Amino acid sequence: MPRVWDVLDARGATGATEREHLSRLQPPFDPRISIYVNAAAAAAAADMASAVTKAALSAPLRRALVQSRGFQTSTKSLLPSAFGSSSSIPPSYFQRSSLPANTVIRFVPQQTAWIVERMGKFNRILEPGLAILVPFIDRISYVKSLKENALEIPSQSAITADNVTLELDGVLYTRVFDAYKASYGVEDAEYAISQLAQTTMRSEIGQLTLDHVLKERAALNTNITAAINEAAQAWGVTCLRYEIRDIHAPAGVVEAMHRQVTAERSKRAEILDSEGQRQSAINIAEGKKQSVILASEAMRAEQINRASGEAEAILMKAKATAAGIEAVSKSIADGEDAAQGAISLSVAEKYVDAFGKLAKESTAVVVPGNVGDISSMIATGLSVYGKVGQAQARTMAKQLVNESAQESGEGVSAEPKQLKDSVLESFDEAAGQK
């Protein structure tokens, strides 16, 4: 019977470690025991070599099958379970990696749920921490990540309510809240949610115009999220939020939008310019109004001050006149005869002087009651009070007539002697009558 290391060398195994281990089993032992041990070791080595050969032959087939199904696997899963395999947690619940092997004792990572099937039927969900499995009966069928996951929604075409074709893409944020429903409620969650997000986005955009799509992006995201959650509850997945990433409009629409923005800004500029001119005109008119009001108030104050000054002057003049009259009356009361004569003389002088001034103006026309009898007017003025002496009155009348004749020139020089005689005769008659 060949030895174990001879068998290993014949099949291409290095067998260094095995040789050292099996060399310890050599005599001194009972020959029967040695034969039994050698036979058992040979059988074990043959089984091990057969398993390695099968694994080497089936590895390319399994790898091709996994690639065709879009699954991810690792070379560690191809090793026998006796050597133990440490599988990593998938990055998201949409990517199905190699499932953890049943090694009786397993440690479930945090924020991860493992679905265990016993003899092909759902048994339980392993929570994070230590888990004990029954070998050959229990199998880990699904691994679900309970973390938030970002799913990219590919670009798609959508038509708005005003018949504008848009290209939109987005990002959908989801999370598994029920690992059982996520495992048995839908076959391909990634495909289902992606299709649902695309159809919902097209439906929501079809209800809005282009302006509302651009302005109400937040409301559109909210509506899409609500519609996805309504359908994804049966799949054990909740949609946290949906974000529209890019919106691409046709070139003609973009150019029209640019022209609209330019026109809107030009309109605002013209409105602001007109408002400025209007406000400027209002300010100018208001300034003129205030100027006129201030000027009228100044004129009014001036007139009031002038009237007040004139009134005060009249009042003072009246007071002075009253004081003079009072003094004259007092003088008359003290000496009646002398005062009466002085008053009569003063009045007569003023009367005659007034007519003398009228005669100086060549354009002045005086029409008394008796036009032809000038001497009677002078006599009347001299005999106002009848207190002036006749000789004195005659002398004053003669002097006044001479002065008037000399000053008047042409008007009196025609017949100076006749006028003088007429005045004196009239004065004599008036004095005699008096």
Q: What one-character-per-residue DSSP string does 154-207 give?
A: EEEEEE-TTS-EEEEEEEEEEEES-HHHHHHS-S-HHHHHHHHHHHHHHHHHTT
Identify the pLDDT of residue 79: 37
The pLDDT, as a whole number, for residue 283 is 92
The pLDDT of residue 366 is 57
Spans of the chain, pLDDT less than 70: 1-97, 335-346, 352, 355-434
pLDDT of residue 115: 86
CA distances from 5 to 19, 20, 24, 35, 88 (A): 6, 10, 13, 15, 37
User: In this predicted structure, what is the pLDDT of residue 93?
Assistant: 43
Q: Is the pTM of this model over 0.75?
A: no
Cα-trace Rg, the chain: 69
The torsion angles phi and psi of 38, rounded to 5 degrees, stand at: -65, -40
The continuous run of DSSP H or E covering 80 comes out as none
pLDDT digits (tens, 9 = 90+) for 59-86: 554 554 444 444 343 333 333 333 333 3
Per-residue pLDDT at 258: 85
- Contact by Cβ (8 Å): 151, 237: no
pLDDT at 345: 65
- What pLDDT was estimated at residue 271? 92
Check if the beta carbon of residue 74 is closer than 8 Å to that of residue 62.
no
Query: From residue 69, how far is each of 74, 233, 418, 420 by CA, in Å?
Result: 15, 27, 161, 159
d(CA 8, CA 228): 61
pLDDT value of position 55:
54
Fold observed for domain 156-249: Tetrahydropterin Synthase; Chain A (3.30.479)
Identify whether the C-beta of residue 128 lies closer than 8 Å to the C-beta of residue 109.
yes
